[in-house]
Amino acid sequence: MKILELNMNVSDESYEEFIFYLKTLPVDMFLFGLRFAYKRYAAETGGYLFPGRKSIIKKETDMLSKEQAQWRLDNWKKMITNYREKGYSYPTISRIKKKIENISKLGR
């Protein structure tokens, strides 16, 4: 067991809230929240935060040409593997496929 001492400059309001969370939450939940906040902050500042399913679908389909969309459909099994490695759910993959099919039929 180790003792942790922090020195931070915060407003009175933020101090009270910070102390409340430290006293209320167990250490594992506090660390979980800090990890999440850190990853989100890194994604926001890195410019690659795309929260939500709609943003994922946009990210995967917005810049596709008609030919690229057709190639993805022709190699769909490889694309599913790629999307699953990225952690996308099957409903999201299905929506991506639907959007790609529209692009390959209609173009932009």
Does one domain contain both 29 and 57?
no
Does one domain contain both 75 and 97?
yes
Residue 7 reports pLDDT greater than 80: yes
Does one domain contain both 20 and 37?
yes
Instruction: Provide the whole-model pTM.
Output: 0.51
- Mean pLDDT, the chain, integer: 87
Q: Which residues contact 43 (CB under 8 A, 6 or more apart)?
A: 49
Q: What is the predicted pLDDT for the residue at 48?
A: 67
Does one domain contain both 76 and 61?
yes
Q: Which residues contact 89 (CB under 8 A, 6 or more apart)?
A: none
Q: Which residue has the tokens 């410019």?
A: 47
Does one domain contain both 61 and 84?
yes
| Tens digit of each residue's pLDDT (9 = 90 or more) over 45-61 | 776 665 666 778 888 88
How do the residues of the chain divide into helix, strand and coil, expressed in percent and rounded to 5? Answer: 70, 0, 30
Residue 102 reports pLDDT greater than 70: yes
> Where does residue 42 rank: exposed (0-12), middle (13-18), buried (19+ CB within 10 A)?
exposed
Cα–Cα dist 57/95, whole Å:
7
Residue 6 lies in a domain: no
Of 59, 36, 57, 35, nearest to 47 by C-alpha is 59
- What range does the domain containing 28 cover? 12-46
Q: How many helices (H) and strands (E) does the chain have?
A: 6, 0
Least confident of 20-24, 53-57, 61-65, 71-75: 53-57
Token reading at 87? 């952690």
Residue 7 lies in a domain: no
